[in-house]
């Protein structure tokens, strides 16, 4: 079992309510895209699911486990990409991945590192320091870091940020491959068209609540932008 579930999830920061009762169930192998305006609670939700922030109330299950009771086991199953790359500027691309491989307890990561550097288009820059990389290159390496340990659950916060069209296509192909291997993916994006194209289900978060949840196959790309504006109040 490698799904994700939240029930009546709330999160408050002082007087501000970021999540106001989010109930969301993602089955094993599903690819869900989460869209919503700034301040809707998308990043807060991902951080709670990644066990980086505790909810104010409500429950979370990751692969059937309670993060409060089985934190280390849950974290081993998760790959997480946030707005920060979590890369070390003074290490090379390969050294960064080897460092994280040790953290994940991978005994012989060489083949996996070679494979991922090739997939994200950085094989020829493997010995270059990360501080010499463009923002898009750092984002590609951060994606490789997030999937290095073959997580069963992948949480991606705006992973397409800074990517050129070629890198965007490569990332979409990698995510499709991971879903084919049974990985469960929850991805946030501001790009409604891409959200409908890459996932098999789309969820709209507005004011800390789920305002829409449907298979992408049942969502008309031509009318969805108008529906999104009505649900979120975005002009």
* Block residue for tokens 């409604």: 192
CA distance 193 to 185: 18
The pLDDT of residue 176 is: 92
The pLDDT of residue 71 is: 85
Q: What is the DSSP string of 15-45?
A: TEEEEEEEEEEE-TT-EEEEE--TTSSHHHH
Half-sphere exposure of 72 (CA within 13 A, CB side): 3
Answer yes or no: are the C-beta atoms of 164 and 139 closer than 8 Å. no
Q: Which domains, from first to last, does the chain contain?
A: 4-87+152-232 (3.40.50.300)
- Write out pLDDT tens, residues 118-134: 999 999 999 999 999 99
DSSP assignment, residue 81? E
What order of strands is seen across the sheet that includes strand 184-188? 78-81, 153-157, 184-188, 31-35, 201-206, 209-215
The pLDDT of residue 235 is: 75
Beta bridge pairs of residue 186: 32, 155
Low-confidence ranges of the chain (pLDDT < 50): none
Residue 216: which H helix or E strand, with range?
Answer: none
Burial of residue 87 (number of CB atoms within 10 Å: 0-12, 13-18, 19+): buried
Rg (CA), the chain: 18
DSSP assignment, residue 125? G
- Write out pLDDT tens, residues 23-47: 999 999 999 999 999 999 999 999 9
Answer yes or no: are the C-beta atoms of 62 and 153 closer than 8 Å. yes
Closest CA to 161 of 192, 138, 129, 195: 138
């Amino acid at each position: 079992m490698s799904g994700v579930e939240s029930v009546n999830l709330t999160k408050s920061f002082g007087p501000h309510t970021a999540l106001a009762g989010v109930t969301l169930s993602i089955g094993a192998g599903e690819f869900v895209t989460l869209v919503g305006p700034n301040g809707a609670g998308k990043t807060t939700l991902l951080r709670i699911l990644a066990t980086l922030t505790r909810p104010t109330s409500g429950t979370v299950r990751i692969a059937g486990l309670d993060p409060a009771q089985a934190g280390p086991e849950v974290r081993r199953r998760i790959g997480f990409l946030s707005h920060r790359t979590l890369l070390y500027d003074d290490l090379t691309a390969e050294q960064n991945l080897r460092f994280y491989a040790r953290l994940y307890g991978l005994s012989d990561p060489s083949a996996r590192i070679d494979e991922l550097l090739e997939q994200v288009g950085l094989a020829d820059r493997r010995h270059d320091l990360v501080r010499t990389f463009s923002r898009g290159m750092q984002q590609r390496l951060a994606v490789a870091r997030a999937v290095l340990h073959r997580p069963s659950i992948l949480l991606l916060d705006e992973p397409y940020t800074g990517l050129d069209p070629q890198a965007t296509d490569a990332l979409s192909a990698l995510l499709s491959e991971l879903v084919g291997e049974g990985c469960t993916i929850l991805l946030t994006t501001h790009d409604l068209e891409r959200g409908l194209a890459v996932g098999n289900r789309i969820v709209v978060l507005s004011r800390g609540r789920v305002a829409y949840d449907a298979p992408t196959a049942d969502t008309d790309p031509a009318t969805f932008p108008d529906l999104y504006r009505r649900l979120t109040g975005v002009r």
